[in-house]
Amino acid sequence: MSPAFDVSRIASIGQRLREGAVIGYPTEAVYGLGCDPMNAQACARLYQLKQRPSNRPLLLIGSSLEMLLPFMDRRQVDDVRWQQILASWPGPNTWIFPRSPQVEDWVAGEYPGIALRWTAHPLAAALCTAFGGPLVSTSANPHGLAPARTAAEVRQHFAAGLDLVVEGATGGLERPSTIRDALDGHVVRS
């Protein structure tokens, strides 16, 4: 799919996500695996597909700030840092916020925070909008292997385990998004 993707197809994928689908889709640098973060069964399937321990956190992406606000405890982030965060979004910058009570343990694992990104990738953002909320966004690879960069690599990794692989170009970045702590700004992953 190009930036001029089929809107009706994206709407259909949004409906499938609301029904519990687990999908592969392009992001800024690599293909991601995604699902509804509020659906425990979908998240459990995603962890199983990745062969990833369920105590490890999942990252969420959204297509707007308003979509992400309910998942963070914004009150703990000082105004200077908040302005830094806003200046980095939308884009390939992920911030770990203190999580709100809305964030389920199956998303955050054993951690008190939640990793959030306001994506600038047009297709990933369109998927969030069609779904109506943030999506899980974890690299499309079995735990410990290199992330998939194409739809074909996603299919090789997961064969028939996914409900759908969305064709499209990644954003062209060499590395996955930088992850920073929203409280003190330190880089967790560059």
* Local confidence pLDDT in tens for the 190 residues of the chain: 334 568 789 999 999 999 999 999 999 999 999 999 999 999 999 999 999 998 999 999 999 999 999 999 999 999 999 999 999 999 999 999 999 999 999 999 889 999 999 999 999 999 999 999 999 999 999 988 999 999 999 999 998 899 999 999 999 888 878 899 999 999 988 7
Full-model pTM = 0.94
- 1 part of a folded domain: no
Q: Report the DSSP beta bridge partners of residue 89.
A: none
Two structure tokens written together for 57:
């956190």
Looking at residue 40, which CATH number applies to its domain?
3.90.870.10
Letter string b/e over residues 40-59, b meaning 16 or more CB atoms within 10 A of that residue's CB = eebbebbbebbebeeeebbb
- 29 part of a folded domain: yes
- 179 part of a folded domain: yes
- 2 part of a folded domain: no
- 81 part of a folded domain: yes
Cα separation, 189 vs 166, whole angstroms? 26
- 34 part of a folded domain: yes
Cα separation, 101 vs 150, whole angstroms? 35
Q: How many domains does the chain have?
A: 1
- Domain range for residue 96? 7-189
- 21 part of a folded domain: yes
Per-residue confidence (pLDDT) for residue 181, from 0 to 100 = 96
**Strand 93-98 relative to strand 178-181, pairing:** parallel
Per-residue confidence (pLDDT) for residue 13, from 0 to 100 = 97
Q: Which of 118, 128, 124, 105 is nearest to 57 (CA)?
A: 105
Cα separation, 80 vs 12, whole angstroms? 40
Per-residue confidence (pLDDT) for residue 99, from 0 to 100 = 96
- 95 part of a folded domain: yes
Residue 129's contacts (CB-CB under 8 Å, 6 or more residues apart) are 14, 63, 64
48, containing H or E segment: helix 40-50
Cα separation, 64 vs 128, whole angstroms? 9
Q: Which amino acid is at 20?
A: G
